[in-house]
Amino acid sequence: MSVLGGRRLGAAAVLALAVAGCEEHLTQPGECPELCPGGIPQALEEVLTALPGRDTSFTGYVAKASNGVLLVSSGIPTAADTNFAVIEFGRRSDSIQFRDTLRAYTIDSIRLSVGLIARDTAVRNLQILLYRLPSNPDTTALSYTGVRPSFTPANLIAAIPVADTLRRGDVPVVFRDSADLARLAFAPGDSNRLVMGVAVSAPVPTGVRIGTGTTGVPPAFTTYVKPIVENPGNTSQVVPVGVQFNTYVSRAAPAPDPLRLPVGGAPSSRGLIRFPWPAKLKDSVTIVRATLELVPAEPVRGLPHDPGTLEADVIASDLGAKSPICPVSLPCGGTLITKIGQIPLPAGTTDTVRIEVTSQVRAWQGSTPAPPAVFVSITPEAATFTEAVFGSTRSGAPARLRVDYQPRFPFEKP
């Protein structure tokens, strides 16, 4: 080989080696115990029981009808329950502007509607019943017993059949006949305000969730009118009226049981559960799974086929009822909460409920750990029929936390 050829060969080899050097692949099959310095990572479990007397429910976080939903039901969430919605529309103007002049009008038709958000999809022949209620309700003291006398056939405005296939959307009714329109006519004392009650009817106990005036599917009261003039034209004008007030009333309003952990309802309740947090879990170990176990003290109440979501959140600091919840995707105690701890909670559930809270419990570790406690709630708060009552340390069926972890690997073993 000539010197020149050797140079080229060497240069080529050097270049090839340098390029190959960009890549590294070191993985090979392991074999224990020979190729296991420190052994195989262990998997251990610790079951923690809620601290005695340190699990409590608090009520009043989200008020009725303030979370975009009105609950209307018959025999839901329990057989003894009935929920009526009460919707007060704003004052309808008694004149319209026509050719630059305010004029009286005649009504062509009226359209009423409610927005269906959820229903029991297994129930057939569902009807939404609209009732005419007295036009000057005391909105600060509405109660089931107060409005119940108005939900009579005499006050029935319409019974709107809901298509069995409809799961969400507008449920309208339009009045054109004079007899029908007469049911919606205002008396002098009504101040041109319509107050409407909403109930449901079905062959079986059921319920619906309808939107409030602040949602995308609000109740609507629309009047189509023509001005009283010589040539009013063929086109009707629209007189829309917005929702001024809406709420719902319930026949059953059980008081929270202080011996147990009621969650959900309206106004909503949350359960704050504190756990002992052993020193061995505070640092160095790696938590691979944590499961919160709650034992229902009674079957979960709710609307079949429309489960609420049971959610467990870690708190940033323990301030009792006002403990701030760590939001997902943000650091909490130096740890990023990557996933919401939640599970659907169907009506009738009696088995132990398990929620995966690994991401949350990892926030209890590190140099600035979050308090070892979880807030349990049902979402959307005060906007679902789902209510649960779980056992507590006082009732003998406390919440438990199963923590699976890896102890620190013995790196120092050569």
Cβ proximity of 92 and 225 under 8 Å:
no
Q: Which of residues 88-147 bind another protein (CB under 8 A)?
A: none
Classify each residue of 316-353 as buried b or exposed e, where b means 16 or more C-beta atoms within 10 Å of its C-beta: beeeeeebebbebeeebbebebeebbbbebebebeeeb
Q: Is 279 in the site for another protein (CB under 8 A)?
A: no
Select the span of 6-14, 109-117, 124-132, 135-143 touching another protein (CB under 8 A): 6-14
Q: Is 230 in the site for another protein (CB under 8 A)?
A: no
Give the per-residue contact string, 327-366, with another protein (x = CB under 8 A; - = no). Answer: -----------------------------x-xx-------
The single residue among 151, 186, 224, 409 that binds another protein, judged by CB under 8 A, is: 409
How far apart CA 324 and CA 339 sit, in angstroms, is 17
Give the per-residue contact string, 366-405, with another protein (x = CB under 8 A; - = no). Answer: ------------------------------------x-x-
Cβ proximity of 148 and 84 under 8 Å:
yes
Select the span of 13-21, 111-119, 257-265, 343-351 touching another protein (CB under 8 A): 13-21
Give the angle 291-53-59 at the CA atoms, nearest 5°.
80
Select the span of 52-60, 125-133, 257-265, 284-292 touching another protein (CB under 8 A): 284-292
How far apart CA 29 and CA 342 sit, in angstroms, is 38
How far apart CA 138 and CA 154 sit, in angstroms, is 22
User: Is 114 or 281 the residue whose CB approaches another protein more closely?
Assistant: 281
Residue from 29, 4, 51 nearest 275 by CA: 51
The single residue among 183, 251, 282, 289 that binds another protein, judged by CB under 8 A, is: 289
User: What are residue 191's DSSP bridge partners?
Assistant: none
**Residue 125 region, left (φ>0) first, then alpha (ψ -120 to 50), else beta?**
left
User: Is 6 or 169 the residue whose CB approaches another protein more closely?
Assistant: 6
**Footprint on this chain of another protein (rule: CB under 8 A):** 1, 3, 6-7, 10-11, 13-15, 17-38, 40-41, 43, 45, 286-289, 356, 358-359, 402, 404, 406, 408-414
